[in-house]
């Protein structure tokens, strides 16, 4: 006689004891389940609330005391066997699904590399410049590239016969408008739209019919600045621009103010910088035009504003126009500004 507990437990008198048969049926149906849905049905049939295994749990209650632990142990074994078989079969389905999905992909192929871009050197210098001026309380202003002749010249106290208006220097559009020759147009637009005090910078493109060479281009970039308040003096102008240039180029760069002439400022200056980064620091490079806002500019603005907001007796101010491309030449030691527009990756990658 087989002494195995399971076989000795014959409650119905059938040849195969019912719990053994239950296990055999369950395992056969699990193996035979065609998909996860069929498998779930098998699980409910055997392990569900009113499934066969649960029914056995009920039956146990009416068994003689002596048999309860034996049947209980066997029932636990059967339940565990069915549960494990269900888990294994589920895993099998999932693995098959995954490998079917992967069949259409060759995971051994090399991927598509993503090149990391870098900011253009002019964008880098712009970000740094904005950062420095922002610390000094300057806000950002802007104006259009295509401008009226009035904003570009008349409002800036530039006489009708001034050489800058000449076709040689300025791009004229058929409708009489111009591509702005400097960002000083934004001085006027800012004052038209708001009363003093004013403290703005306006970075942007400017256009001139210049011969293109290492330091000149038909399109270049400027950072305009305008500061109008009570009691603004040349000392403020010098202090602000010296601070800016030292912050940008370092304390060992040299800065020089030269008297100059602009119709819209009086007195006017040009600023030169000498820095080791450019040609070993042996040459001055002009980077900025600036000066104290001419009273005639305030008066012109008052005329279009139709008020006396910019009373030259009360307010004074300074303005400047920094050549951004030249600042970048100095900071990055680039000897020719044409490189900035050349779109040559070998050049651009050096500013990563
Ligand atoms: N607009 C002048 C130029 O482009 C520079 C400048 C700006 C000068 C503001 C004085 C004040 O050369």
Out of 62-66, 94-98, 221-225, 279-283, give the one with best mean pLDDT: 221-225
pLDDT given at position 87: 94
CB 57 within 8 A of CB 75: yes
Lowest mean pLDDT among 13-27, 109-123, 179-193, 328-342: 13-27
Please give the distance, rounded to the nearest whole angstrom, from the Cα atom of residue 213 to the centre of ligand 1: 21
- The binding-site residues of ligand 1, defined as CB within 6 angstroms of any ligand atom, are 182, 184, 262, 265, 268, 289-291, 319-321
Ligand 1 nearest atom to the CA of residue 288, by list position: 5
Tell me which residue has its CA closest to atom 10 in ligand 1. Answer: 290
| Site to substitute for ligand 1 among 162, 180, 182, 257, most atoms within 8 A of C-beta | 182
Residue corresponding to tokens 């999905």: 101
pLDDT given at position 223: 98
pLDDT given at position 235: 98
| Site to substitute for ligand 1 among 164, 184, 261, 326, most atoms within 8 A of C-beta | 184
Pick the residue with more confidence: 278 or 185? 185
Mean pLDDT of 13-29: 79
Quote the DSSP letter at residue 279: G
Quote the DSSP letter at residue 212: P
Please give the distance, rounded to the nearest whole angstrom, from the Cα atom of residue 175 to the centre of ligand 1: 25
Please give the distance, rounded to the nearest whole angstrom, from the Cα atom of residue 272 to the centre of ligand 1: 14
Mean pLDDT of the chain: 90
Mean pLDDT of 230-243: 97
Please give the distance, rounded to the nearest whole angstrom, from the Cα atom of residue 223 to the centre of ligand 1: 10
Residue 168 has pLDDT above 80, yes or no: no
Domain residues of the chain, as ranges? 19-103, 121-351
- Name the residue among 308, 270, 313, 316 with its Cα closest to residue 292: 316
Mean pLDDT of 117-127: 94
Q: What are phi and psi of 141, to 5 degrees?
A: -130, 160
pLDDT given at position 62: 87
pLDDT given at position 7: 44
Report whether the peptide linkage leading into residue 197 is cis, meaning its omega lies within 30 degrees of zero. yes
Ligand 1 nearest atom to the CA of residue 187, by list position: 9
Who's near 172: CB < 8 A, 6+ residues apart?
A: 178
| Site to substitute for ligand 1 among 178, 200, 259, 319, most atoms within 8 A of C-beta | 319
Q: To 10 degrees, the CA torsion angle through 92, 94, 100, 106?
A: -110
Please give the distance, rounded to the nearest whole angstrom, from the Cα atom of residue 290 to the centre of ligand 1: 6
Measured over the CA atoms of residue 233, residue 293, residue 329 and residue 259, the dihedral's sign is negative
If DSSP codes are grouped into helix, strand and coil, which group holds residue 15? Answer: coil
121-351, superfamily in CATH?
Bira Bifunctional Protein; Domain 2 (3.30.930.10)
CB 306 within 8 A of CB 328: no
CA distance 167 to 336: 26
Lowest mean pLDDT among 72-81, 252-261, 277-286, 309-318: 277-286
pLDDT given at position 135: 97
Tell me which residue has its CA closest to atom 9 in ligand 1. Answer: 320
Residue corresponding to tokens 């990756």: 345
Residue corresponding to tokens 């111009």: 178
Tens digits of residue pLDDT in 131-155: 999 999 999 999 999 999 999 999 9
CA distance 298 to 130: 26
- Name the residue among 298, 299, 301 with its Cα closest to residue 189: 301
């Amino acid at each position: 006689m087989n002494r195995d507990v399971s076989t000795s437990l014959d409650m119905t008198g059938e040849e195969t004891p019912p719990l053994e048969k239950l296990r055999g049926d369950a395992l056969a149906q699990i193996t035979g389940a065609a998909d996860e849905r069929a498998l779930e049905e098998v699980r409910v049939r055997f392990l569900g609330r009113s499934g066969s295994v649960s029914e056995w749990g009920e039956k146990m209650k009416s068994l003689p005391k002596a048999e309860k632990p034996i049947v209980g142990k066997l029932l636990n074994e059967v339940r565990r066997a069915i549960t494990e078989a269900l888990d294994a079969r589920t895993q099998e389905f999932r693995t098959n699904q995954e490998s079917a999905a992967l069949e259409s992909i060759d995971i051994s192929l090399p991927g598509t590399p993503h090149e990391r871009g870098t900011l253009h050197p002019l964008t880098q210098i712009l970000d740094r410049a904005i950062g420095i001026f922002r610390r000094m309380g300057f806000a950002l202003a802007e104006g259009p590239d295509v401008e009226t002749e009035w904003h570009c010249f008349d409002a800036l106290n530039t006489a009708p016969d001034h050489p800058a208006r000449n076709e040689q220097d300025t791009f004229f559009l058929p409708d009489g408008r111009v591509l702005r020759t400097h960002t000083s147009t934004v001085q006027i637009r800012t004052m038209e739209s708001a009363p003093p005090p004013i403290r703005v910078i306006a970075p942007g493109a400017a256009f001139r019919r210049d011969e293109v060479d290492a330091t000149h281009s038909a399109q270049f970039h400027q950072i305009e600045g305008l500061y109008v308040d009570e009691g603004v003096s040349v000392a403020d102008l010098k202090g602000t621009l010296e601070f800016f240039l030292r912050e940008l180029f370092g304390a060992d760069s040299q800065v020089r103010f030269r008297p100059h002439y602009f119709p819209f400022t009086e007195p006017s200056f040009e600023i030169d910088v000498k820095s080791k980064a450019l040609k070993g620091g042996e040459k001055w490079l002009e980077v900025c035009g600036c000066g104290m806002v001419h009273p005639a500019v305030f008066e012109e603005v008052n005329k279009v504003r139709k008020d006396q907001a910019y009373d030259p007796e009360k307010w004074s101010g300074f303005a400047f126009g920094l050549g951004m491309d030249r600042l970048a030449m100095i900071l990055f030691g680039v000897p020719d500004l044409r490189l900035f527009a050349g779109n040559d990756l070998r050049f651009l990658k050096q500013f990563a």
